[in-house]
Chains A and B, each alone.
Chain A
Amino acid sequence: MEHSTRHRRRQLRQLTAALPFLAPWLIGFATLIAYPFIASLFWSFTSYDMLSPPEFVGVENYRRLAEEFVRGERFGLAVWNTVYFALVSVPLSIVLGVALAVMLSWNIRGRAVYRTLFFLPSVVPAVASSVLWLWLLDPQAGLVNYLLTGAGLSGPGWFNSTAEAAWPLAWFRGTWGFGSKDALVLMSLWGVGNFMIIYLAALGDVPVQLYEAAELDGAGPLRRFWHVTLPLLTPVIFFNLVMGLIHAVQAFTQVYIVSEGQGAPAGSTLMLSLYVFLAAFKYLEMGYASAIAWSMFVLIVLATWGLFRSSRYWVFDPSGARL
């Protein structure tokens, strides 16, 4: 009895000592995260234009979203665009990031120079890189189409086109081409340096003995990559997959700029993040915007949960289960 009182008193003392250190973050958490989190959930069940108080409307906002989704109208379009962008850009950035990191791990001169050049684009601010790529991918005057034409290919419409290069049905419909979302994917691949650095650091941690053992067993470079390097990279790939998806779903600045703030052309770059912004600050429908934001949150949670569930089948466990 006396022991537990003393224990509790000590815990209380520890808490009062830690609280002043935590105070700034705790206040921020309460006012800028917890309160807005709950408020927007509540507002997603209301009609609210910021001028008059919110009015409870039940699931009306979600019903509207479901209707637009089924009809493939704005919300449906935004979900499709967001999913398309995330599912195309994230896997490609993993492949490219790993490839560049492996190239940088080769034992040759001038690695630091190459590394700097690969990494540099990822520090270019999103506003500047959007402006730059609008110019590079200009269908007539842009450098990219000029080079493609020079190579005997026809230059795509990029930001002026609604085409989707990764959508298989477009092949059969004869509408295949590179459009606005593919241009955004290209932009995101240019900034792959962040991911590359993480893979590079992970490659440096691979024990040399494993390569020596594999070589003694007669494994060539490709098999050493497939059976040694890649399994040991899977935890980092998993981390980048989760973070990459979360970032891709929230991509805003580049989307806003290349789409003239409205998802142009023809809603082909209307992503969920842009749609939330438009609903809130263009149409002043705070309740509806909150419902979109919460759908977006649910999408991220489901995707993250699915990835964590899948991880046991493909992410290497250092405790030795798969070696």
Chain B
Amino acid sequence: MRRSSPPWFVAHGLLIAAASLFALPLVWMLLSSLKPAAELAADPHRVFPREWRPANYLDAVTTMPYFQYLLNSLVLCAGSVIGTLWSCSLAAYAFSRMRWPGRNAVFGLLIATMLLPWHVTMVPKFLLISELGLYNTLGALIAPTFLGDAFSIFLLRQFFLTIPEELSEAARLDGCTEWGIYWRIILPLSGPALATVALFQFVAAWNDFSGPLLYLNDPARFTLAYGLEQFVSSYSSQTNLLMAAAVLFTLPIVLLFLFAQRTFIRGIATSGLKG
């Protein structure tokens, strides 16, 4: 017996009660998104719609340029996943598989940058990126991911450290360069870690609100996260459409999570425990 548990009916009772509380908001979002506007206004607390109205979803994607936003979001996600994997795996390799003077001190600096609130760097960074002509382009949000971020570097480094050093030694004896070891040995062995970082970065880019709020100005460039907020301020009275839009925005992330649950959970546990 691993650990004592309360009697099964008490345990399940408590867990079902808690799980219902956690699930209820999502269920309510779904149900509200399927009601006609009039019904929602007249009788907002009725559980199941009198008349199911899936057309809300059609209305939601036509009242806002949904597919334009979706395309922008996907470009942002793809660009930042590529940027992060490239820049962070390189830095993580140097921090875990190479010896060089000052490595620990520089790694400490990297960790310290995680404590810096983004507000401190917000204004100068904004001016710098605007100066480069990236204002009002997705490039303003994608370009920085090609310059590494501390969290992903840390996560990859933790994984690279677990790969036996003998593999690198053997490759070096065979005349393999550091680039060769990085590309042919470390990266192919790091599939799960790279998947975790890619997944986290995809979700972060999909959800990012402050980036588009600061850098995007032209509605044709908006991402879904920002577009949804704009939709809220202009259609705040049409709750059914709002909920349909929110479901459409949330669903890909929820599906991604259900599909890749292990990767998510392993990533969170790793970054939290080995810190």
Contacts and interface: CB of A to CB of B under 8 A. Distances in A.
Contact of B272 (A240, A252, A296): A240
Interface string A128-141: 11011101100001
A20 B250 CA distance: 39
A186 to B, nearest CB: 10
A23 B122 CA distance: 23
Interface stretch (B55-63, B143-151, B188-196): B143-151
A213 B206 CA distance: 48
A123 B253 contact: yes
Interface residues of B, number: 93
Given A24-B87, A124-B26, A40 B123 contact: yes
A294 interface: yes
Nearest to A43: B123
Nearest to A297: B120
Contacts, number: 275
A53 B81 CA distance: 37
B258 A116 contact: yes
B239 A29 contact: no
A117 B242 contact: no
A56 interface: no
Q: Which 3 A-B pairs rank lowest in CB-CB distance, beginning with the nearest? A: A28-B147, A25-B148, A36-B124
Given A32-B128, A296-B119, 16 more contacts: A17-B98, A17-B100, A24-B86, A24-B146, A25-B110, A28-B149, A29-B109, A33-B116, A36-B120, A106-B15, A125-B250, A127-B207, A132-B29, A141-B41, A253-B207, A253-B209
6 contacts: A29-B113, A37-B116, A50-B127, A126-B207, A190-B25, A246-B117
Interface of B: 1-6, 8, 11-12, 14-15, 18-19, 22-26, 28-29, 32, 40-41, 44-45, 86-88, 90-91, 93-94, 98-101, 103, 106, 109-110, 113, 115-128, 144, 146-149, 153, 178, 182, 203, 206-207, 209-210, 213-214, 225, 228-229, 232-233, 239, 242-243, 246, 249-250, 253-254, 257-258, 261, 264-265, 268-269, 272-273, 275
